[in-house]
């Protein structure tokens, strides 16, 4: 949703293959994030855009306008900003080796998750190029946090975004990842006026790939052995959707 750590070649984030075939993912790409070590500096800091302006290549607004009205609701889920009270739930997810199998970090201890959560709490608006918006995914009936979703702003000038997600394996096979990720696509296209949104994943992560297919995203590329992760060469697959494809779905 974003984890510290970087590959020997490029800092990145990966989709996660979870136990019980629960498709979680974290985006794999260059970002400017205080929790990621060794990242490239972001350019064009401070560029933001207004969702009411369409057809332009650059949009300027007050930074406060880049923050949605929370919480966001889907048919079965609530997406809201993180609080420090979410530490136990976040640690329960990120401390599991099966969750971090295809991520750039191993299972985390409580202190590492606390640092991650402190960063996430601040990430509730798309204010800077290279920044992200991060939300906890909650079951409204119980209040349980079952996952994390993120929307990255990759380019303000070209209106490019990226989605990522990670979910608890106990909640796999119920369509929660697809439902929450679709809400982030809606936010990116309808609220922020993005032109293109991508999703990146480790080619071995078939569960996450199925989520992107269910969202209607296109498979655009398969890069062979483009990155060393945890001591081995790995492939990267990229899916994408354009704004007009979102409208026509």
Residue 4 lies in a domain: no
Residue 229 lies in a domain: yes
pLDDT score for 66: 73
Residue 2 lies in a domain: no
Check which CATH number belongs to the domain holding 49 and give it.
3.40.630.30
Averaged pLDDT score across all residues of the chain: 80
Residue 25 — pLDDT band, cuts 50, 70, 90?
low
215 near 164, Cβ under 8 Å?
no
Residue 202 lies in a domain: yes
Residue 7 lies in a domain: no
Classify 117 in phi/psi space as left (phi over 0), alpha (psi -120 to 50) or beta.
alpha
From CA 223, how far away is CA 131, in angstroms rounded?
25
pLDDT tens string 81-108: 999 999 999 999 999 999 989 887 889 9
Domains identified in the chain, total number: 1
* Mean pLDDT in residue range 37-65: 35
215 near 177, Cβ under 8 Å?
no
Residue 26 — pLDDT band, cuts 50, 70, 90?
low
Closest residue by Cα to residue 173 from 212, 219, 210: 210
From CA 208, how far away is CA 199, in angstroms rounded?
10
For 63, the domain range is 15-248
Ranges 13-22, 83-92, 194-203, 221-230: which has the least confidence: 13-22
């Amino acid at each position: 949703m974003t984890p510290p750590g970087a590959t020997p070649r490029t800092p990145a984030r990966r989709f996660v293959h979870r136990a019980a075939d629960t498709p979680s993912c974290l985006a794999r790409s260059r970002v400017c994030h205080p929790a990621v070590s060794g990242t490239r500096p972001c350019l064009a800091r401070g560029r933001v855009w207004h969702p009411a302006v369409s057809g332009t290549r650059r949009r300027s607004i007050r930074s406060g306008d880049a923050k949605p009205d929370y919480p966001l609701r889907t048919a079965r889920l609530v997406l809201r900003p993180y609080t420090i009270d979410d530490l136990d739930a976040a640690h329960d997810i990120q401390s599991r080796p099966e969750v971090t199998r295809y991520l750039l970090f191993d299972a985390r201890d409580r202190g590492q998750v606390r640092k991650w959560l402190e960063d996430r709490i601040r990430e509730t608006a798309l204010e800077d190029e290279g920044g992200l918006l991060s939300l906890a995914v909650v079951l409204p009936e119980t209040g349980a946090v079952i996952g994390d979703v993120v929307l990255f702003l990759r380019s303000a000038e070209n209106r490019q975004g990226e989605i990522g997600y990670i979910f608890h394996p106990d909640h796999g096979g119920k369509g929660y990842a697809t439902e929450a990720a679709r809400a982030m696509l809606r936010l990116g296209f309808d609220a922020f006026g993005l032109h293109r949104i991508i999703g990146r994943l480790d080619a071995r992560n078939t569960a996450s790939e199925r989520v992107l297919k269910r969202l209607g995203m296109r498979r655009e590329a398969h890069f062979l052995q483009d990155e060393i992760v945890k001591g081995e060469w790995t492939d990267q697959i990229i899916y994408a959707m354009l704004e007009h494809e979102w409208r026509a779905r």
